Amino acid sequence: MKILVSGLFLYEGKVGGAEFFFKNLLSGLSHLNLDIHLLVNQHDTYTYPEKVSKNKRSILLKFNRGLYDYLLSFFVNDDADIVLSPNYITPLFSRKIKVTVIHDVQYLSLPHNFSFIKRLWLFIAHLWTLYSADAIVCISDNVRNDIISKFGIKHLQKLHVIHNPIDFSRFKDFNKSSKTSLDSPFILSVAAQYPHKNLLSLIKAFRYLKKSYPDKFNYKLVLAGQFSDLLVGGNYDYFSSIQHEISTCSDIIVTGYVSDSDLGYFYENCDFFIFPSIFEGFGMPPVEAMGFGKPVITTRAASIPEVTQYNAIYLDDPFNVADFASKIFDVSSNLDYYKDIFVRHKSNIINAYDPTLIAKKYEKLFIRLLS
């Protein structure tokens, strides 16, 4: 079975859930008896598994990657059985069996986070995918339900839920570095500084605790993730509000993007993890933290309860700073109790999102489509 996989959406310096999903999935697919042919941006610097790299081809992108993915059959003369499009765009004019992954429809749920042009682009792209793809992979039940809610039940037979793979081996080579050197116990949060990640509420709750319990609450807060100015569609006003709040509290450490090894160190050594997002198609960071056996405070928004297996500590109102702070203080005051609970969830999380297991679900879908 020959699979053509388009990685043209990967750009140097751009990281996020879709990018890590793609890399983790390729790691899983490389362990199966599949003939994977990978198409990438010529400037992509990621190191792929050897089995995948031997059939890698590069294209110099002179225009938006969407043009190349839509016109894939003109750029690539390929005899693949399946074309896998990992990020919502389904090729035009292709007679191959087409499998496309949709990560979310946030632009319909939170339209104020997107420009009109971006919303229109995504809406047309999703309509075309729903019409032309032979199968659509939704990365959570929540994404499938959102698609049905927004586009109708007529597409149900094409929608297949396969969760994101999470490759915990990418964190294994962590060591203390200058970027991870901390003398105090710390709380970790991993998120790009988009408004829907709701970091502002977390920062306000943390500052509230530092002010209310200066002698009892001796934590630092580590915020890892890309800054607003490096994000596609980053919100400058929101970023400025975050910066203002941070500037008044020396115990908040903002790292920006960190390497896998540094992130592994943070996961391994934090006391607990907080993910206050109000919208996720999947939401990898809280799952990753649970895979390290760390207590996780997060929200009941969108897919988050589903992917954390309903075993995290959930905020009833992520915008209520006093309630948010109360939840943080409870976990910090009863840390051993919560650690014991979350260590018991660790193996279930690691096993459920194992890249090879997830890749086998894709393989099963490919076989079904071919037959």
pLDDT tens, residue by residue, 14-48: 778 899 999 999 999 999 999 999 999 888 878 88
pLDDT at 350: 97
Contacts from 110-116 at CB under 8 Å and sequence distance 24+?
110/196, 110/279, 113/194, 113/195, 113/196, 113/233, 113/235, 114/233, 115/233
Category of 276 on φ-ψ map: left (φ > 0), alpha (ψ -120 to 50) or beta: alpha
**211-246 burial code (b ≥16 CB/10 A, e <16):** eeeeeebebbbbbbbbbbeebeebbeebbebbeebb
Per-residue pLDDT, 92: 94
Q: What is the pTM of this model?
A: 0.92
Q: Return the structure tokens found at 123.
A: 């809406």
Assess whether pLDDT exceeds 80 at residue 235.
no
DSSP string, 179-215: TT--SS-EEEEE--S-GGG-HHHHHHHHHHHHHH-TT
Report the candidate in 284, 285, 276, 271 with the shortest Cα–Cα distance to residue 339: 271
**Residue 25 is encoded by which pair of tokens?**
């999935």
Domains of the chain by range and CATH?
Answer: 2-165+354-370 (3.40.50.2000), 169-352 (3.40.50.2000)
For the stretch 97-109, pLDDT in tens is: 999 999 999 999 9
240: tokens are 């400025």
